Amino acid sequence: MESSVSLINREVIMKKIAVCFISTCLVSTSVFAEKTTLKIAVQTSGTLDWELSVLPESPNFKIETQPVATSEAAKIALQSGAVNIIVSDFLFVSQSRNTGTDFTFYPYSNTSGALVVAANSPIQNVKDLVGKRVGIAGGELDKNWLLLQAVGKKENLDLNKSIEKTFGAPPLINEQLKNKRVDAILTHWHFAAQLELQGYKQLLDGKGLQQNLGISDNVPTLGYVFKESWANSHKTELKAFFAATSEAKNRLCDDVELWKKATLKMDNASAILRQRYCDGRVNSWNAENQKAAQKLYSVLFSLNPRVGNSENLATGTFWAVE
């Protein structure tokens, strides 16, 4: 029979083991609890879906996606708090901040829209658009349409009055060109790339339009948009997310097989589409780029004050990472 001292010692040892086991469990639980969920709105026809499908795993965050049909639906999801992050442009952010929200912007892509015509079209430049039918993806405040008007204004053309305009969703606008109901279209870059694959010709892209206006620095008009207050309390997770998406872009551009797998949902995910996508990688985001963004905004505001409530971008439009 064991002595009472031995029994006491065994009881003490068992308690210590139990405490140690419980504390280990608590530590493990706390590690998992610290992995923040980033709720992201993803357009079914957008490129973000490709990147998230090859995103490297991170100890800092996990992703929860919410499919949305349009960019407007994404904005509503962000405004309602249903998601933390969407992809939109800095014009929307500046407008929102002027109405009291604290949305802010971090660059996502340099790639924007393009002006496309049939391969045998007589349209060779912006002047040739006068008197023609032009399909425009988006609405009156679409940034590419405003840019095109600005380029026309430099050549003493009022494109708003001198062309026949048709506005609509990108797939509809593409069909208008294919069916010869319009002579040219201004559409989103990946819809333009699909048309190029079918023999259509790209005359100008968003970068070309900006350069025509004397803006040489890259201005990524598309970016991640989120609440500043939320971002400032999740800096570690957001930095890790941005680094991971940058790595995902590079992986898609470096690995053809991975690209094919990630873009299975999209018909005709061609080499042209891949090249346009890879050209849009953001390699710098500094004070000079942000000054160029302000210059671009000023041009757009001069054409249509409805793009914002002021001649200047709202303070805080661009997220201060540090």
Question: Per residue in 109-145, is it b (16+ CB within 10 Å) or e — as a string?
Answer: bbbbbbbbbbeebebeebeebeebbbbbbbeeebbbb
Does pLDDT of 13 surpass 50?
Answer: no
Burial of 284 (0-12, 13-18, 19+ CB in 10 A): exposed
How does pLDDT run across 244-300, given as a tens digit for each residue?
Answer: 999 999 999 999 999 988 887 766 567 888 999 999 999 889 999 999 999 999 988
How does pLDDT run across 101-141, given as a tens digit for each residue?
Answer: 999 999 999 888 899 999 999 999 999 999 999 999 988 88
Distances (CA, A) of 217 to 146, 232, 233: 19, 28, 31
| Model pLDDT, residue 29 | 40
Considering the domain delimited by 36-110+218-307, tell me its CATH architecture. Answer: 3-Layer(aba) Sandwich (3.40)
Decide: 220 and 285 in contact? Cβ < 8 Å: yes
- Record the tokens describing residue 175, joined without a space: 């069909």
**Other Cβ atoms within 10 Å of 199 Cβ, number:** 9
| Model pLDDT, residue 5 | 46
Which residue spans of the chain are classified as CATH 3.40.190.10?
Answer: 36-110+218-307, 114-212
Decide: 228 and 94 in contact? Cβ < 8 Å: no
Does pLDDT of 21 surpass 60?
Answer: no
- Record the tokens describing residue 296, joined without a space: 């671009």
Helix H segments across the chain? 4-33, 48-53, 71-80, 90-98, 143-154, 159-162, 170-178, 189-197, 206-212, 228-232, 235-254, 256-262, 271-279, 287-303
| Model pLDDT, residue 304 | 81
**Other Cβ atoms within 10 Å of 1 Cβ, number:** 5
Decide: 221 and 87 in contact? Cβ < 8 Å: no
Class of CATH domain 114-212? alpha beta
Does pLDDT of 66 surpass 50?
Answer: yes
- Record the tokens describing residue 57, joined without a space: 């795993």
Per-residue pLDDT band for 309 (boundaries 50, 70, 90) equals confident
| Secondary structure tally for the chain: helices H, strands E | 14, 10
